């Protein structure tokens, strides 16, 4: 069920351009890199100008526009997280302690619930199943598993924080906004637990994710998909999302 695709086999350099580990680290470490990364994305293949069609291969998945687009964006991220924890539970027993595996089993259940919720809510507007690329993850290595989980959970928090304002429909959109609120705090609980597993004695919760105003990170879909792209083999067209 998991497609292992080498980065060089992927078409469309959009995601690949930000996919390397170095770029991701830079991305998270420096606020300024966000703007740089965005610029890179835009100049590579995703001009915000609607007149310009990004070069997409014929397998590119279009998230769509408006509230449906945002829901598909969330659905895409939940697909990624659910696939990751499903693989962890299936493959990483030898690398993790019993306590760590219990957390992973919970996270798998939660993310599958999120994924299937969005799929059902979207109905025939749902994007197809995405192919993931976990070739950079060593599922037999505890550090690789936990660091990837940390990346996904912190990114999930930032994604929902940044997406809330993009819902436009004041009717159904408010329901979706509330749904995002119901999910983002669970992603934050996950993120804290993963940080805690990585650094148990410090009772770590992800200090580096919280700024001087006591605010967790918020990221735009462009930023999030740039960072998550290394793990998604399917090319995604998100140019029609609200901005």
Partner 1 sequence: MNIFRIIQEIEKVDGEVYDRFASRRQAFSSLGSFGKKVALAAVPIAMGTMFKKAYGQSTSGIADVLNYALTLEYLEADFYMQGLAASGAIASENMAFFEDVRDHEVAHVAFLKTAITSLGATPVDKPTFDFSAGGAFPDWNSNPATYLALSQAFEDTGVRAYKGQAANLVASNEVLTAALQIHAVEARHAAIVRRIRGLKGWITNDERGAGMPAPTQAIYDGEAETMQAGVDVPAVSGVAAASVTEAFDEPLPMETVLNVASLFIA
Binding site for partner 1 (CB under 8 A): 106, 109-117, 119-121, 157, 160-162, 164-165, 167, 170, 174-193, 196, 201-203, 205-207, 209-210, 212-218
What is the DSSP code string of 191-233? HHHHHHHHTGGGT---GGGS-TTS------HHHHHHHHGGGB-
Q: Alpha helices, DSSP H only, in the chain? A: 13-16, 21-29, 31-44, 66-91, 98-122, 142-163, 172-198, 221-228
Q: Minimum CB separation from partner 1 for residue 97, in Å?
A: 14
CA-based nearest residue to 205, from 188, 186, 182: 188
Q: Minimum CB separation from partner 1 for residue 191, in Å?
A: 6
Q: Minimum CB separation from partner 1 for residue 242, in Å?
A: 11
Whether residue 161 contacts residue 153, with contact meaning beta carbons closer than 8 Å, is answered with no
Task: CB nearer to partner 1: give 21 or 128.
Answer: 128
Task: CB nearer to partner 1: give 32 or 214.
Answer: 214
Task: CB nearer to partner 1: give 103 or 132.
Answer: 103
Q: Minimum CB separation from partner 1 for residue 117, in Å?
A: 5
Task: CB nearer to partner 1: give 94 or 124.
Answer: 124
Q: Minimum CB separation from partner 1 for residue 195, in Å?
A: 8
What is the sign of the dihedral through the CA atoms of 198, 200, 205 and 211? negative
Task: CB nearer to partner 1: give 22 or 120.
Answer: 120
Task: CB nearer to partner 1: give 19 or 206.
Answer: 206
> Which residue(s) pair with 232 in the sheet?
132
Rounded CA-CA distance 38/201 in Å is 36
Q: What 3-state class would DSSP assign to 147?
A: helix
Kindly report the three-state secondary structure assignment for every residue of 5-24: CCHHHCCCHHHHCCCCHHHH
Q: Minimum CB separation from partner 1 for residue 200, in Å?
A: 9
Residue 106 per-residue DSSP state: H
């Amino acid at each position: 069920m998991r497609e292992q695709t080498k980065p060089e086999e992927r078409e469309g350099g959009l995601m690949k351009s930000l996919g390397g580990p170095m770029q991701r680290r830079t991305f998270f470490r420096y606020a300024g890199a966000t703007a740089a990364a965005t610029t890179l994305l835009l100049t590579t293949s995703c001009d915000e100008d609607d007149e310009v069609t990004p070069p997409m291969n014929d397998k590119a998945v279009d998230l769509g526009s408006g509230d449906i687009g945002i829901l598909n964006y969330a659905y895409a991220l939940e697909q990624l997280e659910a696939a990751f924890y499903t693989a962890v539970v299936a493959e990483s027993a030898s690398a993790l302690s019993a306590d760590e595996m219990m957390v992973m089993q919970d996270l798998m259940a939660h993310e599958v619930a999120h994924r299937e919720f969005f799929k059902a809510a979207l109905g025939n507007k749902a994007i197809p199943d995405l192919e993931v690329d976990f070739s950079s993850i060593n599922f037999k290595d505890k550090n690789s598993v936990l660091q990837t989980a940390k990346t996904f959970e912190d990114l999930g928090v930032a994604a929902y924080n940044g997406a809330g304002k993009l819902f436009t429909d004041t009717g159904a959109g408010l329901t979706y906004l509330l749904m995002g609120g119901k999910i983002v705090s669970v992603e934050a609980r996950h993120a804290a637990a993963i940080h805690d597993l990585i650094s148990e004695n410090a009772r770590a919760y992800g200090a580096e994710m919280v700024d001087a105003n006591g605010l967790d990170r918020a990221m735009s879909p462009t930023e999030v998909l740039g960072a998550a792209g290394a793990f998604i083999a399917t090319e995604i067209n998100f140019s029609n999302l609200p901005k």
